[in-house]
Amino acid sequence: MQVTSTGSLSRRRPTRQIRVGDVAVGGGAPVSVQSMTTTKTADAEATLSQIYALAAAGADLVRCTCNEEAAAEGLARIVPRSPVPIIADIHFHYEMALAALEAGVQGLRLNPGNLRKVHEIRLVAGEAKDRGVPIRIGVNAGSLHPDLYKRFGGATPEALVESARMELAIFADVGFDDVKISVKASSVPLMIDAYRLASETFDHPLHLGVTEAGPPPAGLLKGTAGIGTLLAEGIGDTIRYSLTADPVEEARAGRQLLEVLGLRERKGLDLIACPSCGRAEIDVIAVARAAQEALGERNLPIQVAVMGCVVNGPGEAREADLGIAAGRKRGHLFIKGKIVRVVPEDEMVEALVAEAEKLVAEGVEARLAAADSGAEAEAEADRLALVEAKGPDANASEARVALIRKRYTGEDPPA
């Protein structure tokens, strides 16, 4: 099932396109998700296991450190067996970049604040050009070249962008421009300003990230604030959350962010739920958690709603592919707002899971056609009973309307 976004974001900033293995980046290609392994790259089996987990969670590209000869040897064993393109992370030793290229990696990341000798940078760029391997210029506010730090009075947006510009100029000496750029910072405002400036300065694709964001939930909030803001402005071609956590959480968060922004087709579950209120007939939090656990492991590409009451629930969540609302110890199962079944309260999650699997397998029209006869009438009876029990207007909206009319017209509303 394909879900169509009903929202709108700023038009994507046009960029040139590069290819990291078989993944296109920039130039109108879908925004890609990246993460980085935390295993020792020399341990090829452990690293491959993590790469497969990252790919399953939504990573399109995976970066591995290449900091020693054993790591380069590990890459030679990893690359042919990886389900996604591999990028080698290089910091201080240009020899490791050359070794990673020999290992067959599909991309390099160079930190211009750490790898500074011009002749070494030219050598790496020349080798990458000969092999058709792109390079990310990975500028980082925490490792900015000391000269730029002094020149700009700190790690300013201008300093970060200038670092990338200087590296591009060195690449140009050997005719290499197969490049994407990042200007990361741990400060969200600095990161946003730096990327905005970079988007005005370069036509190369941009890799977005808030570096050293820390552990969840704060790290997720920082990453989302920075990456989400820029994506909403049309800036960014590939992204990475930098979390102090299992990197699978990074890949999952990146994929979910792109899906909720409508920038990638949904591959997994999107569970929505009301925040609960005094009208709720169930423990919405507990039911939503149980549904998330039961449905999440199945990775079904649908939007599912868990609503606390049958008075407003199906109507408020009518755009969801599937949902359930509680009332009078029963659950009203609905598809696109239409009631298809009424089940006992203790079977709500089980019924939701069963219907979700059928919905994905058979489609909306088939499942609507299979609705229980009398389900809508039964559900309406529950709804009316609850409205009567809690008052004809649970939200007192009509009483408020009457007061507003009297205030502005001076007249009592019609009896």
For every residue of 58-83, DSSP letters joined together read T-SEEEEE--SHHHHHHHHHHGGG-S
- Which helix H or strand E contains 186, and what residues bound it? none
Q: Are strands 238-239 and 86-90 parallel, antiparallel or unpaired?
A: unpaired
- Among candidate residues 177, 210, 231, the one with its CA nearest the CA of residue 31: 231
Can you read off the two tokens belonging to residue 34?
């990246």
How far does the chain reach from its first CA to its final CA, in angstroms?
Answer: 50
CATH of 18-260, one of 3.40.50.2300, 3.20.20.20, 3.20.20.70, 3.30.470.10: 3.20.20.20
What is the per-residue pLDDT across 341-394, written as a single tens digit (0 to 9) for each? 999 988 989 999 999 999 999 999 999 999 998 888 887 887 787 777 655 555
- pLDDT value, residue 271: 87
Number of helices (H) and strands (E) in the chain: give both, helices first.
15, 15
- pLDDT value, residue 5: 41
Delimiting residues of CATH 3.20.20.20 domain(s) in the chain: 18-260
Delimiting residues of CATH 3.30.413.10 domain(s) in the chain: 270-390
Peptide bond into 134 cis (omega under 30): no
Can you read off the two tokens belonging to residue 195?
């990327």
Contact present, 46 and 72 (Cβ < 8 Å): no
3-class DSSP assignment, residue 213: coil
- Among candidate residues 284, 316, 282, 310, the one with its CA nearest the CA of residue 384: 310
Q: In the CATH scheme, what architecture does the domain 270-390 have?
A: 2-Layer Sandwich (3.30)
- pLDDT value, residue 310: 66
The C-alpha atoms of residue 105 and residue 160 are separated, in whole angstroms, by 27
Q: 349: which DSSP letter? A: H
- pLDDT value, residue 386: 72
The C-alpha atoms of residue 99 and residue 109 are separated, in whole angstroms, by 13
- pLDDT value, residue 1: 41
Contact present, 225 and 188 (Cβ < 8 Å): yes
Q: What is the pTM of this model?
A: 0.82
Can you read off the two tokens belonging to residue 219?
């790290």
Low-confidence ranges of the chain (pLDDT < 50): 1-7
Contact present, 138 and 211 (Cβ < 8 Å): no
